[in-house]
Structure 1
Amino acid sequence: MMNEEQFEEDLEKSLNEALISCEKCHFCNTVCPVVDTRVTQGPFGISRAIYYGLQWNEFTASLRDLVYSCTTCGKCDLMCKKVSRALPLTEIIEKAREFLLVEKMVGPMPDQVGVLKNMHVRGNPWGNPPHERTQWAEGLDIAFASKDNKVDVLYFVGCASSYDAQGQKIAKNLSRILKQTGINFGILENETCSGHEARRMGETGLFAYLSEANMKMFEEASINHIVTGDPHSFYSFSQEYPDKGNGFKVQHYTQFLNELIDDGKLELSSQVSKTVMYHDPCYLGRHSEVFEEPRKLIQSIPGVTLVEMENVREDSDCCGMGGGRMWMELPSSLLSSQAISERRIYQALDTGAEVLLTACPFCNITLNDAVKSLEKEGSLAVMDITELIAMSL
């Protein structure tokens, strides 16, 4: 596996060297959420297309579309590690996106150009006004963390939970839970995008800019403990930021709330009589290996029965919206995000459980949309774990 420094030295050379190592076994395609019956798609098809694009010096819109079809879920990485050369396929695809964007000016996808500009100018992918970022917190008496107002825990909300109506439920419920414990927590008045999706789209320069902006705010407010409900931000803070989280403690809320329950600071007393299942978000589960904490948290809710659905933990299927796919339309020749999320809903319906839980605003938004598109609102509800915990306070 090539490290970050080797990739940065010469993108074209390092991509070539990594792709030559492929044994062409096709096993990666057997677990890919975006692949259909054609071997030309999925991680094998993408990697071969990149390889021949490099050999022939041809970087077309069709190649770009294929490279950007990946959800960066990481299932192919695990399969390659199990049966083949352990190639970092997700990293190779992300570096190919950077190569197409920075060196060949073919990427990103047309729909993503404005998204990246919005992140740079307004600090969020939708381009909403920055002053509206904290409107969800109005009337909730939540403190703003600053150099003059030190907090023990910073709740990093993230873009989706700040601006999307579905995501705002997560922010409100988690804030209510934290207030119940008496924890001295706050949010940033000028919070900006973590940059995670910019990096997934290949815009590493923008990621560096946003990460530096966030690190500066964390330092100015003397932040040493961050809790977030966004697995994408959690992953970037803990594994991709300049000091990779060494300067402060980073936790997903499922980890933090478990600690509070164990310490007797959070008590769940009201019965919630529901049969539920849990969908592992890619960047919380497979990429960050947080599998037990969400399940332990769910099982701590009185009255809840947890059942497992098909493909869970490291084998969990993607919701379809990772890797920048939330902000783009793919050609009809490539599998749509809606088809991927609807497939996951069918797996959930097979369990007979009434609630599908997740711990990611992206998954929450996407899977809720899939339930509606399938007209299954009467059979299945999609919720974030925080919603069930709030019911039990």
Structure 2
Amino acid sequence: MATTENIELEEPNADASLFVKEGYDEPITEDNVPEGIRTDAYLEFAGRHHFDREEDPVFQQTGNDLHTGTGFHTSILSLERGIASMDELVDQFTYALQDGGGEMINPNTLFAADFYRYGSTTTDLVRKVRHDLVEAGYEYPGLEKVQESVEESIELAQDPERHTAWASDLDLSRDEGDVILFAAGPMTTVEEPEIPQASAKVLKAAGVDVGILSDPLPIDLEAYEVGYEEEYKKFAKTNVEKLKETGVENVVVCDSHSWLGFQRDYKRMFGDLPFEVTYITDYIADLIDAGDLELTEKVDRTVAYHDSSGLNALSYVWESPREVLEEIPGLTFEDRDHVTRWGCDCGYGTSNFRALHPDLSRDIGEERLLEAEDLGVDDLVVACSYAKNQFDWVKEERSSRIETPFIADLVIEALGGN
């Protein structure tokens, strides 16, 4: 198990919670399903709607009701009634992308959220159950691979020079600037360094003094689920304190997992953050609107946009990518309504679904590329390093003519390539 002894970490408050509903901080056991979770499970079961199947990429591939939000909640109700056992949950709960689409179309959300402030939170339930299974000593297929990916992140965090090597030729400020561009973790800084590089270049082209943290800590959403809850919370508290110490008012994020960490987990644990957090597409759209970026060069391509689940269904970033693409001269943008994109997913998932079910993950990714081909576009534009990496991984074994450029790269082309 990876250690953090070489990293100076802040201690979060003992009551720092990743959940908003009652009962989710109590352990689920054979003999006890906390009341709040039991209520959630009953409301899902009583709905008898199955709407979430239509928006669930996993169900569309497996056809198994157990792999839906309704299925997950019903199994918890079965556990509470003594019909099911903990070991029967082990395999089932690996079949969740945690993409949020099923939650959005769920009647408990559609018809009760605005007035009663109650909605479906399947993603929270899946995270909770996986965490409790691991804490109770259960192992599930792919667990070791997910743990290895978290350990890789922890090891990278202990090597700040390698962690920030992507920025070595960009002349970026350290721990200061107009904004801090937050890039952390192996996926964004090592596997897909072109993502933060392109993001920084666009910001600099607008005259923004871009800074980065000298020693950022990764935001691995799956860490909580696989035995690294303490490390995840300490990394979170330390990131917040480091960013606060820089004195910047705005932190810009360029991958959907870190964004979801800030917008969901960090705010749940620490309340209002002492700085604004903005997604890269929102920031670029604002720069264009303010006249700070002049897109003058034609980009002669036909494109569609991929709504990453961590941006669209889970955190509502859907307008700005479309606004940016519509401002690029020469670009033909074949748009699809973001609501119908709730069921879209690249197949990576928000907690490394790819490590749990690689073949199924690849099938889901291929389905998304085939959909883009059917639209007759040249490119499926992405706004996240995880989606970029996933589609490239899918194309290694499944042929596709579709290219998947990062949205900032198209902006750079429209700026003249500088």
Q: Same fold (TM over 0.5)?
A: yes
Deviation at 1:210, TM superposition (A): 1.3
| Corresponding residue to 1:101 among 129, 134, 137 | 134
- The 3 A distance-change label for structure 1 pair 281 and 204 is same
Answering whether residue 76 of structure 2 is matched by residue 30 of structure 1, we say no
- Which stretch shifts more, 176-185 or 357-366? 176-185
Answering whether residue 110 of structure 2 is matched by residue 77 of structure 1, we say no
Residues 174-200 of structure 1: CA distance to partner in whole angstroms, max 9, x if unpaired?
111112112111111211102433246
Residues 37-63 of structure 1: CA distance to partner in whole angstroms, max 9, x if unpaired?
232333233333344345357322x63
In the aligned structure 1, how far is the partner of 2:41 from the partner of 2:339? 29
| Corresponding residue to 2:241 among 216, 234, 238 | 216
| Corresponding residue to 1:268 among 292, 295, 302 | 295
Answering whether residue 167 of structure 2 is matched by residue 141 of structure 1, we say no
Letter in 2 for 1:224: E
Match of 1:370 in 2: 394
Answering whether residue 148 of structure 2 is matched by residue 114 of structure 1, we say yes
In the aligned structure 2, how far is the partner of 1:269 from the partner of 1:10? 57
Letter in 1 for 2:144: P
Letter in 2 for 1:8: D
The CA RMSD over aligned residues, in Å, is 2.6
In the aligned structure 1, how far is the partner of 2:241 from the partner of 2:370? 44
| Corresponding residue to 1:179 among 204, 209, 228 | 204
- The 3 A distance-change label for structure 1 pair 83 and 308 is same
Deviation at 1:205, TM superposition (A): 2.9
Partner-residue secondary structure (3-state), 2:70? helix
In the aligned structure 2, how far is the partner of 1:38 from the partner of 1:99? 24
- The 3 A distance-change label for structure 1 pair 251 and 189 is same
Match of 2:410 in 1: 388
Is contact 2:173-2:212 (8 Å) kept? Answer: yes
Answering whether residue 39 of structure 2 is matched by residue 17 of structure 1, we say yes
Answering whether residue 329 of structure 2 is matched by residue 295 of structure 1, we say no
Residues 220-272 of structure 1: CA distance to partner in whole angstroms, max 9, x if unpaired?
22232100111221122123213345311110011111111111211111111
Residues 148-185 of structure 1: CA distance to partner in whole angstroms, max 9, x if unpaired?
xx312000013222010xx2111111111112112111
In the aligned structure 1, how far is the partner of 2:386 from the partner of 2:345? 11
| Corresponding residue to 2:364 among 313, 317, 340 | 340
Is contact 2:58-2:95 (8 Å) kept? Answer: yes
- The 3 A distance-change label for structure 1 pair 49 and 203 is farther
Q: Give the total of aligned pairs.
A: 376
Is contact 2:256-2:386 (8 Å) kept? Answer: no
In the aligned structure 2, how far is the partner of 1:197 from the partner of 1:315? 21
Residues 303-349 of structure 1: CA distance to partner in whole angstroms, max 9, x if unpaired?
11110258766524111111322562439xxx710011011111110
- The 3 A distance-change label for structure 1 pair 309 and 176 is same
Match of 1:7 in 2: 24
Match of 1:151 in 2: 177
Where structure 1 has 5 or more consecutive residues not aligned to the other structure, the ranges are none
Partner-residue secondary structure (3-state), 1:373? coil
| Corresponding residue to 1:42 among 54, 68, 91 | 68
Question: Identical aligned pairs, as a percentage?
Answer: 23
Match of 2:16 in 1: none
